[in-house]
Amino acid sequence: MTIATRLRFEQGARSDVGCVRRVNEDSWAARLRDGLWLVADGMGGHAHGQWASATIAAALEAAPLPETFEEAAAAARAALLAVNARIYAATGADGAKIGSTVALLLVREGRARVMWVGDSRVYRQREGGLDQLTTDHSQVEQLIARGLLTRAEAEQHPMAHVLARAVGVEPRLNVDMRDEMVLAGDVFLLCSDGLTRIVGDAEIAQILGTEHPRRAADALVALALARGAPDNVTVVVIGCDSTTLIG
């Protein structure tokens, strides 16, 4: 008799227009069986931003993903590069930029690859500790990295919403990537900045640590709405657990 363990996943997702905006420019995708999730936050005006984020989500939902980790990761990245070209080609004659952030998580074989562009984020909660696995591609983050701005000063900076990188605004896309091991008990959160600008890390950690992924997604968005949600807010929560196989 052989006893083995593997990871199983549970997920929750919720997206809301918020309390101020009229159009939800956020999109998300969740391919539970394929181990791929993403959040995208569009820019470029209501119709354009909504189209850009939805185009990214649709492209990654439809992308064929091979079985192995590296091949699936390469396919996901290739899909991002292709959709970048499509969005860039849609730039209007007036030169107005159309684009979107993206935060993507791929899990296979006990490994995770995080890919991101812009300031949508991926977090991991492990044993009570919350880690941000992405670094914002923003003008303010660049100033912090150069030592010209403190983290506290950045929260009130007038350029806090200005992106340094986004999908669709340049002909060539630079996708940042990070690899992590996945352990039973890990909880991942993908979110747009509509959450993180008004809900702190300690509050995020408390909710992720006490609620099922579906209830956690609802609770995080409800908290943002209770605080006036000036932007669209989207969250995807993935819980990892182990299951025993006997053969």
Nearest alpha-carbon partner for 196 in 224, 219, 218: 224
DSSP 124: E
CA-wise closest residue to 174 among 126, 137, 226, 203: 137
| Pure H helices in the chain | 46-62, 69-89, 139-145, 151-155, 193-196, 201-210, 213-226
pTM greater than the 0.85 cutoff: yes
Residues 46 and 40: beta-carbon distance below 8 Å: no
Please give the structure tokens belonging to residue 198: 């008004």
In order of their start, the domains of the chain are 3-246 (3.60.40.10)
Can you give the pLDDT of all 247 residues of the chain as single tens digits?
344 457 899 999 999 999 999 999 999 999 999 999 999 999 977 679 999 999 999 999 999 999 999 999 999 999 999 999 999 998 865 667 899 999 999 999 899 999 999 999 999 999 999 999 999 987 666 665 665 555 655 565 556 667 889 999 999 999 999 999 999 999 999 999 999 999 999 999 999 999 999 999 999 999 999 999 999 999 999 999 976 444 4
